[in-house]
Structure 1
Amino acid sequence: MFLTLQRYFNQFQPLSAPALEAIEAICKPITIQKNKNLQHIGQTCQTIYFLENGIARIYYLKDEIDITEGFYFENSIIARAESLFTGRPSRKGIQVLETADLIAIDSQKFFALFDAYPEIERLFRKIIEAAYIDTINRIESLQFNSAEERYKSLLESSPDLINRVPLKYIASFLGITQVSLSRIRAVR
């Protein structure tokens, strides 16, 4: 279990054995069933999750419409950063779209390791930097690309998404209606 997380860390920065042991000591494996919430809207984020298998999405409600902010696949970190860093309840939730195995890391215990292991703090900074770049790319995609271009890019980066995620969530992620998504798919 922890080896998958270690391999993920190595993409950013390898850690020493003592640092890895310290992280492993605060990790807890969990399984969440399909279509269940990992975190509810209004909950304060106090856990960083590593998704070993399955798919999850971050979503919010706007005028009672369910909107998908992002999809998370195997070998990715999921957290509501705005809540994690401010301690305020999040206006977004995390839902598992397939039964998923995750590693839950208590954020307060994780952050407490930063002073003892500066390499862990560096690792976390690199992970957050990568997430920030992904967020900027997402915003720019919505600003500069057509719905067709966003759909094509999504398929290129996640080819099996269509088979694993309901179309209504894909449409909301792309910022279009399900009818518009059907038209785009019909042309392809």
Structure 2
Amino acid sequence: MNNLITYFNKYNTLSEEANKAISEICKPVIIKKNQDLQSIGHTCRTIYFIKKGVARIYYYKDEIEITECFAFENAIIARVESLFTGKPSRKAIQMIEDSELIGINSPKLFELYDKFPEIERLFRKIFEAAYVDTVNRVESIQFHSAEERYNALLKESPNVLQRVPLKYIASYLGITQVSLSRIRGIR
């Protein structure tokens, strides 16, 4: 829980009572490499904090697997569109490495919002930051070349090449593995 509390403190420091209330709705989750944490068609009712491992969100378009994003240690991951609408997601979360996570029960978390406005404020800030990341991702696809997106990914996550298969990186960048090899050869 210490890693999770440290993560929370980046956004909003919680009282001891609020931290205790959150810890009571958390559970450890262990997932093996290449297993889905949440499968396509699953309704998201858990927010995950990654203690150890790498996750990716993916979906299928015209029977082609597309990687939407990666998440590394000390990050939150969830299918937010499913979490807030209560509808099944068309996307999945897969763990790329053997992973240790903390699962936060979202219905119970949302119940805590009324008792602890500081918890609601914390998660509002976390979800705002995630929204900004999503907007930045969309804008990078719209305005930047594949090479620029590749360089930005390396800057943001320097060890991505050691931890994530190239096919997922190529998919994330919206290019083929051949194009990715060409870009890597230029560097």
Q: Give TM class, smaller chain.
A: over 0.9
1:84-133 CA distance string (max 9 Å, x none): 00000000000000001000011000000000000000000000000000
Shift of 1:13: 0.4
Inter-partner Cα distance in structure 1 for 2:94 and 2:39: 8
Inter-partner Cα distance in structure 1 for 2:10 and 2:112: 20
2:75 aligned partner = 76
1:154 aligned partner = 153
2:126 is the alignment partner of 1:137: no
1:20-73 CA distance string (max 9 Å, x none): 000000100011000000000011001000000100000001111110000000
Aligned-partner SS, 1:12:
coil
Question: 5 Å matches for 1:70-109?
Answer: 70-109=69-108
Unaligned stretches of 5+ residues in structure 2: none
Inter-partner Cα distance in structure 2 for 1:32 and 1:24: 20
2:3 aligned partner = 4
2:185 is the alignment partner of 1:186: yes
Deviation beyond 2 Å, 4+ runs, structure 1: none
Q: Percent identity?
A: 65
1:167 aligned partner = 166
Inter-partner Cα distance in structure 2 for 1:143 and 1:57: 21
Counterpart residue identity of residue 125, structure 2: K
Shift of 1:11: 0.1
Aligned-partner SS, 1:88:
coil
Inter-partner Cα distance in structure 1 for 2:73 and 2:105: 20
Shift of 1:154: 0.4
Counterpart residue identity of residue 49, structure 2: F
Inter-partner Cα distance in structure 1 for 2:38 and 2:20: 27
Unaligned stretches of 5+ residues in structure 1: none
Aligned-partner SS, 1:15:
coil
1:110 aligned partner = 109
1:59 aligned partner = 58
Q: Number of matched residues?
A: 187
Inter-partner Cα distance in structure 1 for 2:158 and 2:120: 33
Inter-partner Cα distance in structure 1 for 2:58 and 2:95: 11
1:45 aligned partner = 44
1:163-187 CA distance string (max 9 Å, x none): 1000000001001111110110111
